[in-house]
A and B are shown apart, each in its own frame.
Chain A
Amino acid sequence: DQQVKQNSPSLSVQEGRISILNCDYTNSMFDYFLWYKKYPAEGPTFLISISSIKDKNEDGRFTVFLNKSAKHLSLHIVPSQPGDSAVYFCAASDGQGGKLIFGQGTELSVKP
């Protein structure tokens, strides 16, 4: 069973516009959520995180929103840049052992 789901395998956005990447989860015990960005042939790079006690966290062009009742989180990138083109993974933790449960990733393409 897939506890963390990213239902869109790919997303294409015009440079300067907003990119919205979505993630759904099923386990109500998850209390910490992260977004990672991955370029080809490189390891995932931490982007932004949010604790379950918050519903929004912002860092520059990146904002993560958490809707606990819907078990849904999203990553907003504004404005999108060509260098943002990568695969984005959302991940969740229940804080019990540190291991992360990852979604399958969404490949973002930002076109000039």
Chain B
Amino acid sequence: GAGVSQSPSNKVTEKGKDVELRCDPISGHTALYWYRQSLGQGLEFLIYFQGNSAPDKSGLPSDRFSAERTGGSVSTLTIQRTQQEDSAVYLCASSSFRGSTDTQYFGPGTRLTVL
């Protein structure tokens, strides 16, 4: 079946502009995660949605970052007033959530470049 898909694959924007990144999880997966990978770094957790529960936003770096998940499926990560330090690859993952033995499956990522 289809894996996690993300769009766009690349996004170049000017400092101060808003951007929206989209994630389509694997069908039937109830959990959805956003991470980002800055150059030379590991993956950094941003936000996590599980079913109808309130999202875990503990990884969002500032209030310029927000995310929503509509209908329990597609998610959009929004970055307002982008800064150059926001440049990174933004990765989305989904899982069927089995608690402590959860395996997350990743999309190809969106490479964001803020000029």
- Contact present for B4 and A103 (CB under 8 Å): no
- Contact present for A104 and B41 (CB under 8 Å): yes
In the assembled complex, B25 has its CB within 8 A of some CB on chain A: no
Distance of A34 Cα from B43 Cα, bound (Å): 13
**What number of B residues sit within 8 Å (CB to CB) of A?**
29
The B10-41 residues at the A interface (CB cut-off 8 A) are 31, 33, 35, 40-41
- Contact present for A89 and B33 (CB under 8 Å): no
Distance of A94 Cα from B107 Cα, bound (Å): 23
Partner of A43 from B41, B91, B100 at Cβ < 8 Å: B91
User: Could you give, for residues 19-60 of chain A, a 1 whenever the CB lies within 8 Å of some chain B CB and a 0 otherwise?
Assistant: 000000000000110101000011111100101000000000
Q: Whose C-beta in chain A lies nearest to the C-beta of B106?
A: A43
Residues of A within 8 A of B45 (CB): 99-101
Residues of B within 8 A of A112 (CB): none
Q: How many A-B residue pairs have CB under 8 A?
A: 70
- Contact present for B4 and A98 (CB under 8 Å): no
**What number of A residues sit within 8 Å (CB to CB) of B?**
28
In the assembled complex, B42 has its CB within 8 A of some CB on chain A: yes
- Contact present for B102 and A46 (CB under 8 Å): no
- Contact present for A43 and B108 (CB under 8 Å): yes
Q: Whose C-beta in chain A lies nearest to the C-beta of B107?
A: A43
The B35-79 residues at the A interface (CB cut-off 8 A) are 35, 40-45, 48, 50, 56, 59
Give 7 CB contacts A-B under 8 Å: A32-B100, A43-B109, A49-B101, A97-B50, A100-B33, A100-B45, A105-B42
